Amino acid sequence: MLRSAILAAARSDRVERLVETAPVSRAIVRRFIAGEHAADALERTRELAAEGLAVTIDYLGEDTANPQQAEATRDEYVKLLDALHSAELTPDAEISVKLSALGQAFDEKLGFANARAICAKAAEAGTTVTLDMEDHTTTDSTLEMLARLRAEFPTTGAVLQAYLRRTEADCRELAGEGSRVRLCKGAYNEPESVAYQSRLDVDKSYVRCLNVLMSGDGYPMVATHDPRLIAIGEDRAKWFDRSADEFEFQMLYGVRPEEQRRLARLGYTVRVYLPYGTQWYPYMMRRLAERPANVGFLARALRSKS
Ligand code: FDA
């Protein structure tokens, strides 16, 4: 209930204005987001790399409404990739991209062309791209674009969301050689017709999907902060004889940082998802929805402005 209410608020312009301008927002934004500029993302990436952590950088933005905005997002990624390469942070730093930020919603052709330009630049910079997954109405389009991008740039990664009923089958499709798949629970408000609703059902689906990916020939990216699923990830990697360079754990910047470092010390590859940019509102609202303890923040932000 609470999760749905926060995710609904994430789509309200009025709440967005209130939260964005509330003084209390700064602290929480700093916790989850590298900063507003590419230079901030580079700085955080250096710090994380020094601690033995890999990184995937997301330039914040989604639901882009016009071609100019989509092209500006593409150009920002191209600049970022140049900067990462010059700073010798590739291949440990890769990038994560939302196709909606590149124009997918209003012009699939343009979205694809922008994604292709980013993948080409990433290949030149010696690193990889992962396509984030958004709400279920975009899943088919994203997987189709993934297949076309992989034909040219085979290391392009996908995200699959365990809460969707279709995902176990998608995992089977994508468990082949050279395929990089990030498995997460899923962060959007989805109807029962397409998504499991209870935590238990989502977790059970996660484990089934993990079994498919770990027993396959691809490269599983186990994206979760859930201690039980992390332990199951370690167990399945052993069971299927995967060495530490044949899968990785992924977590969000600012969430369970000690656990990120603990797993890295054990010799696992741990990749931190590091967002930057000014359009932090929808991303931050999804983080709040994941953790009821963070809701006090939202209440304070709204009280201080109303
Ligand atoms: P769960 O939400 O059950 O959390 C387990 C524990 O982790 C909590 O009890 C708490 O201790 C801690 N925790 C989790 N979230 C927290 C938070 N926000 N603040 C503080 N503590 C928190 N989703 C999507 O739909 N599309 C995508 O492309 C991606 N991409 C992505 C990349 C990476 C690297 C990660 C880690 C996650 C995503 N996600 C995503 C988000 C994902 O779907 C999911 O919403 C979150 O990871 C939270 O789910 P957990 O698996 O961590 O479990």
Q: Per-residue pLDDT tens for 181-198?
A: 999 999 999 999 999 999
Does residue 43 lie in a domain region?
A: no
**Structure confidence at residue 52 (pLDDT):** 97
Domain annotation covers residue 40: no
Same domain, 79 and 211: yes
Of 23, 100, 92, 32, which Cα lies nearest the Cα of 291?
32
Which tokens go with 212?
A: 């498919």
- Residue whose Cα lies nearest atom 21 of ligand 1: it is 255
- Does residue 186 share a domain with residue 109? yes
The answer to whether residues 137 and 274 belong to one domain is yes
pLDDT at 218: 98
Instruction: State the residue for tokens 């990038």.
Output: 95
pLDDT tens string 92-141: 999 999 999 999 999 999 999 999 999 999 999 999 999 999 999 999 99
Catalytic residue chosen out of the listed positions 44, 116, 132, 150: 132
Both 195 and 286 in one domain: the answer is no
Is pLDDT above 70 for 70?
yes
Say yes or no: 66 and 165 in one domain: yes
For ligand 1, the distance from its centroid to the CA atom of residue 242, given in whole angstroms, is: 24
Token representation of residue 89: 């942070």
75 or 8, greater pLDDT: 75
**Per-residue confidence (pLDDT) for residue 1, from 0 to 100:** 66
Beta-bridge partners for 158: 181
Rounded CA-CA distance 92/94 in Å is: 6
Q: Ligand 1 pocket: which residues have CB below 6 Å?
A: 132-133, 159, 161, 182, 184-188, 223-226, 250-252, 255-256, 273, 287, 290-291, 294
39 belongs to a structural domain: no
User: By C-alpha distance, which of 271, 275, 273, 237 is closest to 52?
Assistant: 271
Q: Whose C-alpha lies nearest to ligand 1, atom 38?
A: 184
15: Cβ contacts below 8 Å, ≥ 6 apart: 9, 302
Asked about 132 being catalytic, the answer comes back as yes
* pLDDT higher than threshold 90 for residue 223: yes
**Are residues 295 and 273 both part of a single domain?**
no
Residues 16 and 164 occupy one common structural domain: no
Percent of the chain with pLDDT over 90: 79
pLDDT at 26: 74
Mean pLDDT of 34-61: 97
Ligand 1 centroid distance, CA of 223 (Å) = 7
Q: How far is the CA of 224 from the centre of ligand 1 (A)?
A: 6
At position 265, the amino acid (one-letter code) is R
Which tokens belong to 164?
């969707």
Question: Domain containing 181: what range?
Answer: 50-278
Please indicate whether residue 182 is annotated as part of the active site. yes
Find residue 55's DSSP bridge partners. Answer: 93, 272
Q: Within a 10 A sphere around the Cβ of 78, how many other Cβ atoms? A: 18
Provide the number of structural domains found in the chain.
2
Place of tokens 């914040």: 60
Q: Are residues 172 and 271 in the same domain?
A: yes
Question: How many CB atoms sit inside 10 A of residue 165's CB?
Answer: 15
Looking at every residue in the chain, the average pLDDT score rounds to 93
